[in-house]
Structure 1
């Protein structure tokens, strides 16, 4: 991949059709059954959870390249799966411009997120996500909202399935004090944050409102590291986004994120604040 910043503007946030993913899932299911495997005994062979295999076969989850290659080998699929995969370019519930980042997320060994607008997608409850999508303009249909909520919840399997990945989240305090979806929905969201950040590899820090300025006043930051120790960045704005591969730009974002970590509350103090918010 060349060193660059890819700007994607005027891209639709609406979910795209998943016909190509359903086609891949159906082909995979045929070859799996031909080989005499159930989803349960097949999943460990490809290195994924049975739930992930099920999602892929239902066309609800984009298969990673390593999954396809492993499946070809195990199922002796004559290259059919690789060929169908070439055309599997649309993921239901995820905007087209986000797919490249989502694909890398599933491989990441480190994933850092600073968010100043809302709770990061990987940490959202269903109620919170539904409230966010319900306020979209232009207005989404009920089916579009369902597709986007489903896709968001599917992505959260990363936190459960990748215990060796280092997840770091920094969230502005005002985001957690906004009653998104109502008092009950926000109380549930805070409870979920406490539960989701219990594992040792998931760290949450809150940027206190009392800190008047900090190192990333320019907006949200996402950084990830691949198993090959390559770093990529992603920044999202109004109707545009940037997928960043330029090492110099990524270095700047790393410096900002490191400074943010020193400016935010510690994970322990952040947890105490969440507990006080939940009680209130």
Structure 2
């Protein structure tokens, strides 16, 4: 994204436009233009097309955008959601299988990808891990965006690697949990059955006010745009939020689990 942003900035400056002038002409805020140019924000198709029109229709941005959306190391069925994540104004994640990708350590991600079938080549494995780590940069680069995570306690009790790597995972998750834009809640084992057990789900709100969902299974993922279905998922998530431990109690539980290693 930084390379794409540098191209936008170079073309804008060549056209003799300030960021404010360019933002006015393309119909986006100065903050959005700045974020795209600095590689902090994933541009959408509208931005690319409007920028092309303002900057002379050279085709350079369209070509660069095609390479930007390929996203090596990210599963084909997840790529569209990954692009939406980068512009979302909030993001909610429920997981009952694995630690959410945005909270994984490099060692945990490696263990996950090493266990996939069919087996990955060394190059594919490294590409997957690199993409996972780069995706996590959102938590740091977008402090104004709230990220909510609800994770089953059983996920944190699943072993991988050695004890040191497990401790590192707890430390990593706890470190993210103190960020002002991150809310982490754990569903304790004693909470019993609940309405989200159909599987993991992610929810987000787009800059233009659309609410979307994403659900993933074996070798597939589904972007959910139907308003009624998304509303139902939000209802389930909100209900589970009230059933999970508070962020403070969730942190205490994770600290106890780490201490018991």
TM range (shorter): 0.7 to 0.9
Matches within 5 A, 1:2-21: none
Matches within 5 A, 1:224-235: 224-235=204-215
| CA distance, structure 1, for counterparts of residue 95 and residue 240 of structure 2 | 11
Matched, 1:52 2:39: yes
C-alpha displacement at 1:80, in angstroms?
Answer: 2.4
Match of 1:153 in 2: 133
Of 179, 182, 190, the match for 1:202: 182
Match of 1:215 in 2: 195
C-alpha displacement at 1:164, in angstroms?
Answer: 1.4
C-alpha displacement at 1:97, in angstroms?
Answer: 1.8
Match of 1:79 in 2: 58
CA contact (8 A) 1:27 1:81 kept: no
| CA distance, structure 2, for counterparts of residue 190 and residue 165 of structure 1 | 23
C-alpha displacement at 1:72, in angstroms?
Answer: 5.3
Match of 2:115 in 1: 135
Of 147, 155, 158, the match for 1:167: 147
C-alpha displacement at 1:181, in angstroms?
Answer: 2.5
Structure 2, unaligned runs of 5 or more: 15-30
| CA distance, structure 1, for counterparts of residue 42 and residue 35 of structure 2 | 13
C-alpha displacement at 1:45, in angstroms?
Answer: 8.9
For residues 160-189 of structure 1, the C-alpha deviation after alignment (integer angstroms, 9 at most, x for no partner) is: 111111110000101101112232111111
Q: What's the TM-score, normalizing by structure 2?
A: 0.82
SS of the counterpart of 1:214?
coil
| CA distance, structure 2, for counterparts of residue 142 and residue 106 of structure 1 | 27
| CA distance, structure 2, for counterparts of residue 215 and residue 255 of structure 1 | 9
CA contact (8 A) 1:112 1:169 kept: yes
Match of 1:116 in 2: 96
Match of 2:7 in 1: 28
Of 193, 197, 218, the match for 2:173: 193
SS of the counterpart of 2:160?
coil
SS of the counterpart of 2:143?
coil
| CA distance, structure 2, for counterparts of residue 116 and residue 45 of structure 1 | 34
| CA distance, structure 1, for counterparts of residue 6 and residue 95 of structure 2 | 39
Of 190, 210, 221, the match for 1:241: 221
Match of 2:18 in 1: none
- Bigger helix fraction: 2
Match of 2:106 in 1: 126
Matched, 1:106 2:93: no
Q: Which range is displaced more, 83-92 or 140-149?
A: 83-92
Across the aligned residues of Structure 1 and Structure 2, the Cα RMSD in angstroms comes to 3.1
| Greater RCO (Cα-Cα under 8 Å, separation 6 or more) | 1
* Count of aligned pairs: 245
CA contact (8 A) 1:234 1:243 kept: yes
| CA distance, structure 2, for counterparts of residue 49 and residue 86 of structure 1 | 12
CA contact (8 A) 1:173 1:207 kept: yes
